[in-house]
Chains A and B, each alone.
Chain A
Amino acid sequence: MLNWLRSPASETQVTHGQRLWLYVFSVLILILLVIPTFIVIPMSFSDSQYLEFPPETWSLRWYRHYFGSEEWMQATRTSFTAAFLTMLVATPIGVLAAYGLHASKLPYVRAAFVLLITPMMVPLVLVAIGAFYAYVKLQILYTMTGLVLAHALLAIPLVVIVTGAALKGYDMNLENAARSLGAPRWKAFATITLPQIRFAVVTSALLSFLTSFDEVVIAMFISGGDNPTLTRNMFNALRDQIDPTIAAISTIMVLVTTFLMVLAQIFGKNKTGG
């Protein structure tokens, strides 16, 4: 141990001992980054009205409350449906856009790219009240269609960025070779290019799903009536009091995220994906 502390840690011969503060600090911050995500899990199994850690008595009371509440179940169904549909809408049109912009070397490509990533830069509240206004006119306020379109809008920048990055690392000559051998462009894309960038496409799809599933501010404005999302109901509940049911729901959301992250790790291990 002492030897390790005295051994050089970098090219400049700083020893591990001199860097000890950095190691301690960094590990501490990493722990602090992760803990809040997981702390809700044990708390959700507490029997107490007040969230305590560690819980004195364990129970499934808050899960029973969640699964027994038609309101929460309805919201959960809405959130999953919206997330799934957002994935189905945003991924293809985002991938098409990324491919189109990558292959077409017209001068407006840059402007189009900037436009496609603006949803990420515009404050969410503004997107939300804008969409609220537009949906009143289009008469799709509080509908699943409206919710999915708005969430797809948020997901598109991610899809375009992730897929675009993968396309940059992909050799377009492969596709050109297929085309010079007689394949139409769509076929060359579908059979040659798409398999090469599939990891980025899968990552994009997962990110689209999560974008919709986690989104609060837009859902606050344009989901309601029969279609409030889980996050909308959670946010309203949070404003009122610290309801332990939220801990149970949070646990389920963390599990969904972790599951998707593991999926991304499995399918994302690659050279080309973003």
Chain B
Amino acid sequence: MNATGLRRDEHMERLKLFGLSSPALMLVMVILVIPVGWLFYVSFIGADGSFSLENYERMITRKSYGRIFWTTFEVSLLTTGICILIGYPLAYFMSQLPPRLANLCLIAVLLPFWTSLLVRTYAWLVLLQKNGLVNNWAISLGLWDEPIKIVHNLNGTLIGMVHIMLPFLILPAYGAMRAIDRDYIKAAANLGASPRRAFWTVFFPLSTPGLFAGALMVFVLCLGFFVTPAVLGGGKVIMVSMKIVSNIELFVNWGAASALGVVLLVLTAGVLWIASRFVNLERATGGGGH
């Protein structure tokens, strides 16, 4: 066999191997890509059945929609910010521990990660309710005198969401910190850097790829979040995904729901696209290409 033949054979072989991914790709096409494409189409169909931009115009002209987008953005940003403030020191703490202890902490992070989101949301509902554990303890500790309303509002939503999103931030941040060569810190200290300076000029910059990847994941997941704000928000925190659901469940308005969905998807893709210019996204997803 000559060289061209061999090359052709190899190409065929590679095509065959690539074909192994076709069942999975088919599934993604049929259940995700094509239906979402259809939603995109429906979003441009008006109430009278012809092409129209009314579903998008409504979003701009009606104040309630602006508020929903603002709430979504606000909740996502706050959740991400709080996750960074809490998660980064925790990940740092874990990265400084000997491996055996760190693994124990890792289990404490992974356990809620694996537990049903609904169960955790329910647990917070129970903990934060008026005669719940948090109120009772705070009163007996003298933090406040009367039961206060912590759930069915923005605070409750944030508490629940931060709890659910924290592992998404901690895991990549911790991974990045573990990978840092400690000799760099030692070198910085040797050269006379104070602990603070060694941390901020050497350790922190080296850990940012993991931190950004985690924060990005949290932000993107928050944008489309439904269950926790729906349960803990008590109808006071209305995010885009909840409006999509109510547009379909209550008003059977596919046009309006689709248009919201398209905007949500574009926002999500936009955030990911912008971020991909600064961060290695493969870090957030655990790898990919070669």
Q: Is this pair of chains taken from one and the same complex?
A: yes
With A104-B15, A214-B116 known to touch, is A130 a contact of B126 (CB < 8 Å)? no
- Please count how many residues in chain A sit with their CB below 8 Å of the partner chain's CB atoms: 96
Asked whether B122 lies within 8 Å of A234 as measured between CB atoms, the reply is yes
* Residue contact B289 to A110, C-beta cutoff 8 Å: yes
Is B111 in contact with chain A by the CB < 8 A criterion?
yes
- The answer, yes or no, to whether A205 is at the interface (CB within 8 Å) is no
Query: Are the C-beta atoms of B36 and A126 separated by less than 8 Å?
Result: yes
B139 at interface, CB cutoff 8 A: no
Binds A, one of B1-9, B59-67, B206-214, B240-248: B240-248
Q: Which residues of A contact B120 (CB under 8 A)?
A: 36-37
A50 to B15, CA, bound (A): 61
- The reply to whether B287 and A25 contact each other, CB–CB distance below 8 Å, is no
User: Does residue B68 face the partner (Cβ distance < 8 Å to A)?
Assistant: no
Closest to A164 in B: B287
Question: How far, in angstroms, from A33 to B131 measured CA to CA in the complex?
Answer: 22
**A273 CB, nearest partner CB in chain B, Å:** 12
Does A266 lie at the interface of the complex (its beta carbon under 8 Å from any beta carbon of B)? no
Given contacts A11-B186, A26-B89, contact A126 B116 (CB under 8 A): no
Assess A247 versus B18: contact at CB under 8 Å? Given A11-B185, A235-B118. no
Whole-angstrom CA separation of A5 from B32 in the bound complex: 56
Complex interface residues of chain A between 243 and 267 (CB less than 8 A to chain B) = 246-247, 250, 253-254, 257-258, 260-261
Binary contact readout A104-120 vs B (1 if CB under 8 angstroms, 0 otherwise): 11101110111111111
Q: Which single residue of chain B is at the shortest CB-CB distance from A29?
A: B90
A144 close to chain B: CB less than 8 A: no
**A149 and B39 alpha carbons, distance in the complex (Å):** 19
Cβ of B142 under 8 Å from chain A: no
Q: Is the CB of B116 within 8 A of A93?
A: no
- Summarize B's interface: helix, strand, loop or mixed: helix
CB distance from B105 to the nearest CB of A (A): 6
CB-defined contacts of B39 to chain A, threshold 8 Å: 126, 129-130, 133
Instruction: Return A126 CB to nearest CB of chain B, in Å.
Output: 5
Contacts of B34 in A (CB 8 A): 134
Q: Which residues of B contact A97 (CB under 8 A)?
A: 20-21, 23-25
In chain B between 240 and 285, which residues have their CB closer than 8 angstroms to a CB of chain A?
A: 241, 244-245, 248, 254, 257-258, 261, 264-265, 268-269, 272, 285
Please give me the residue from chain B that is nearest to A89 by CB atom.
Answer: B27
Residue of B nearest to A237 (CB): B122
Partner of B14, one of A13, A37, A106: A106
Determine the distance from Cα of A104 to Cα of B188 in the docked complex, in whole angstroms. 44
Q: How far is the CA of A93 from the CA of B23 in the complex (A)?
A: 6
- Interface presence of A39 (CB below 8 A): yes
Q: Which residues on the A side are within 8 Å of B78 (C-beta)?
A: none
Contact, CB under 8 Å: A126 / B288: no
B110 and chain A: residue at smallest CB distance: A261
In the complex, A177 has a CB within 8 A of chain B: no
Given A153-B27, A242-B125, do A123 and B241 touch, yes or no (CB 8 Å)? yes
Binary A-proximity of B117-148 (CB < 8 A = 1, otherwise 0): 11111111111010111000000000000000
A contact residues around B166 at 8 Å (CB): 29, 33
Choose one: A101, A110, A126; the contact of B244 (CB below 8 Å): A126
Asked, given contacts A156-B28, A164-B288, whether A121 binds B122 with beta carbons under 8 Å apart, the answer is no
Q: Do A100 and B18 contact each other (CB < 8 Å), given the known contacts A40-B122, A131-B31, A164-B288?
A: yes
Q: Contact partner of B122 among A120, A238, A261, CB < 8 A?
A: A238
Q: Which residue in A14, A93, A162, A258 is a CB contact (below 8 Å) of B111?
A: A258
Give, as a whole number of angstroms, the nearest-CB distance from B18 to chain A. 4
Question: Are A32 and B163 within 8 A (Cβ)?
Answer: yes
Q: Is B23's CB under 8 angstroms from A96's CB?
A: yes
B290 lies within 8 A of chain A by Cβ = yes
The answer to the question of B115 belonging to the interface, with a C-beta cut-off of 8 Å to chain A, is: yes
5 interchain pairs, CB-CB under 8 A: A33-B109, A105-B290, A149-B27, A164-B287, A274-B286
User: Which 10 interchain pairs have the tightest Cβ spacing?
Assistant: A123-B224, A100-B20, A130-B35, A104-B17, A97-B21, A97-B24, A26-B93, A12-B195, A36-B123, A214-B116
The interface of chain B, by Cβ under 8 A from chain A, is 14-21, 23-25, 27-28, 30-36, 38-39, 86, 89-90, 92-94, 96, 105, 108-112, 114-127, 129, 131-133, 163, 166-167, 182, 185-186, 188-189, 193-195, 198-199, 220, 223-224, 226-227, 230-231, 241, 244-245, 248, 254, 257-258, 261, 264-265, 268-269, 272, 285-290
